Amino acid sequence: MAESKPNIVFMLLDNLGFGDPGCYGGGVLRMAPTPRVDGLADEGLRLTNFNVEHACTPTRAALMTGRLPIRSGCERVRFGVKNGLAPWEYTMARMLKDVGYSTAIYGKWHLGNVAERHPTALGFDEWYGIQDSTDPVFDLMQADKGALVRQTKIWEGKAGSPAVPVADYDPESRPFIDAEITDRACQYIHDRAATGQPFFLYIPFTMIHHPALPHPEFKGRSGNGPYADCMLEVDSYTGRVLDALNEAGVQDDTIVVWASDNGPPSHGTLGPQGDTGPFRGCLGTAYEGQLRVPCIIRWPGHVEARTVSNDMVSVTDFYATFARICGGRVPTDRAMDSMDLTGFLEGKEPSPRDWLLAFVGDSLAAIKWRQYKLHLIEYGTQPGHRYKLDLAFPQLYNVASDPKEEWDIYGANLWVNEAIQRIVFDYRKSVEEFPHVPVGGDGPSDAPRPKKLLARE
């Protein structure tokens, strides 16, 4: 399969919920139709059990490394210290570059706050976008003249020299950045297609993270407020990227992935946010409303059009899958969590994944196995009220029949423990062989041994 080396375009939305796009039950229901996203789903595979991590940075680390983010020291962001991916990590961009790909990222990185951890130091040829989160823009809007609020920048750079800040990222620039990201992405497609060199284009949009500040061309268009306006904008930019592939004549030679990095935040003071569809929970928890997000995959001639699957898939799995398809190398000197989905994507076999570990920060919060979900930690997710509670007894849910995780069936299904314990044991064994990289660490050598994860260990 490696001979053909398809292009890869990976569009990643920020905080977009399972129930936001039309093809996932949102769209016109929320006065924000998404015809281009829905059309992409008609042309490929729509996943309904695609799982990400508990927040932005962990998901992006899992995608880039094929590893649980706790392994790479990216389970959380600690302000005021060096964080993000260590230069030691063999990123997806590095892996693809090593087999002849041109690589670019336009959008949100959130995987390093120093030069040696910027994308152009970790395998990307070029970058335009933001280093961290859009949170400071919201903070600027809430603070008195921005007092005591971090001022973030828009960055630009190329491999071989440090990236530099080129503009402020603030309430004035926020409505325009995703249009600029899209412009650059489309130009990149045309430029690279003309060379014949395969390319990996990563487009982590800043939308639809709060604050919802639509571009002037979309402001008021939905008639249902700024969040719905931004949904129309996201759909339009998705369409522009797809059109650029068509215009460049490479649509049939390109794998397109469209996904979200996590579920929406709890509403609180943020105003209307994303919708989690049939699930409960929010960003920062291990409930299905956080873990399950939209994911659409189009690969003409390989992925059958108009297909839907509820097979379990993890964001880590793109790493091994792209390595197999493109002839890349999966490292063997570290623990890898990615599973090869190639046969599944081509409709030849089920997804190889039937379990996953859900960490929140450095705590193992839940384990999914088949249709079952075992929770070790309970989170309060009501607007304005958050809490974390270590459970004296685990809670077990059948998420196929109880997607909102309301009916605890642990007492009647203790047999599930055997499968769960085996999964956790294998993880612990892998950490003993391949220690974690600590937050801000340059490699795994100084990592502490794993702490006890289950009371019965």
Give residue-wise pLDDT tens across range 273-318: 889 999 998 889 999 999 999 999 999 999 999 999 999 999 999 9
The bridge status of strand 313-314 relative to strand 307-309 is unpaired
**CA angle (410 as vertex; 405, 412 as ends), nearest 5:** 125
8 A C-beta contact, residue 110 and residue 133: yes
Please compute the mean of the pLDDT values over residues 331-343 and round it to a whole number: 97
Domain 7-345 has CATH 1.20.1740.10: no
Domain ranges of the chain: 7-345, 355-433
Question: With bands split at pLDDT 50, 70 and 90, how would you rate the model's confidence at 450?
Answer: very low
Residue 149, pLDDT score: 66
pLDDT at 443: 87
Indicate if the pLDDT at residue 168 is higher than 80.
Answer: yes
- 127, 156 Cβ separation under 8 angstroms: yes
User: Span 377-397, mean pLDDT?
Assistant: 77
The mean predicted confidence, pLDDT, of the chain is 92
Read off the pLDDT of residues 72-122 as tens digits, 9 standing for 90 and up: 999 987 766 788 999 999 999 999 999 999 999 999 999 999 999 999 999
Amino acid 78: pLDDT: 73
Between 36-40, 437-441, 449-453, the lowest mean confidence (pLDDT) is in 449-453
Q: What is the mean pLDDT of the segment spanning 38-67?
A: 97
**Residue 83 backbone zone (phi > 0: left; psi -120 to 50: alpha; other: beta):** beta
| pLDDT of amino acid 409 | 97
CB hemisphere CA count around 182 (13 angstroms): 21
List, in sequence order, the alpha helices (H) in 143-225.
174-195
The CA distance from 371 to 452, in Å, is 25
Longest distance between any two alpha carbons in the chain, whole Å: 62
What confidence score (pLDDT) does residue 456 get? 37
- What 8-state DSSP symbol labels residue 84? B
pLDDT in tens, 297-309: 999 999 999 999 9
With b for 16 or more beta-carbon neighbours within 10 A and e for fewer, the 19-35 pattern comes to bbbbbbebbeebebbbb
In the prediction, which pLDDT does 260 show?
A: 98
Q: What is the pLDDT of residue 268?
A: 62
pLDDT of residue 454: 46
Q: How confident is the model at residue 19 (pLDDT cuts 50, 70, 90)?
A: very high
Domains 7-345 and 355-433 share a fold: no
Which pLDDT belongs to residue 160?
94
Quote the distance between the C-alpha of residue 171 and its chain's center.
Answer: 24
Q: What 3 state SS string does 213-268 have?
A: CCCCCCCCCCCCCHHHHHHHHHHHHHHHHHHHHHHCCCHHHEEEEEEECCCCCCCH
Q: How far is CA 376 from the centre of its chain?
A: 23
Its pTM stands at 0.94
pLDDT at 120: 98
Q: Is 392 helix (H, G, I), strand (E, B) or coil?
A: strand
8 Å CB contact between 102 and 198: yes
pLDDT, tens digit (0-9, with 9 covering 90-100), for 169-224: 999 999 999 999 999 999 999 999 999 999 999 999 999 998 999 999 999 999 99
3-state helix, strand, coil in the chain (%, to 5): 30, 20, 50
Instruction: Report the distance separating Cα 99 and Cα 322, nearest Å.
Output: 11
For domain 355-433, the CATH class is alpha beta
Which of the two residues, 449 and 196, has the higher pLDDT score?
196
3-state secondary structure of 394: strand
